[in-house]
Amino acid sequence: MCLGIPAFVLEVREDEKSALVDSNGAIFTVQIGILDEKVKEGDCVIIHAGFAIGKIEREEAEERRRLIEEIMAYGKME
């Protein structure tokens, strides 16, 4: 099983095979070349191991991010 996390595309690189993304404030480059759909600035993607593995709607990305934050906060409770 893998964990794919939501990220927001900030910039598609010139080669159109990689993109700069923001995932909960962490900004990094991921590979987008394996996607069937074209990715553009403002899109939301699911990432795993440095690759965008799918596009999702913004509402779905926000909900997944909220759930991840909730899970992370649960571990901090005493």
User: pLDDT value at position 71?
Assistant: 83
> How many domains are there within the chain?
1
Which residues, 6 or more positions from 77, have their beta carbon under 8 angstroms from its beta carbon? none
Domain of residue 46, residue span: 5-76
pTM of the model: 0.84
Q: Which CATH number does the domain housing residue 13 bear?
A: 2.30.30.140
Say how far apart CA 45 and CA 33 lie, in whole Å: 13
In this prediction, residue 1 carries a pLDDT of 57
* Residue 77: per-residue pLDDT: 58
Supply the pLDDT for residue 78: 57
49 sits in which H/E element: none
Local mean pLDDT, 10-residue blocks, the chain (78 residues): 86 94 94 94 96 95 89 73
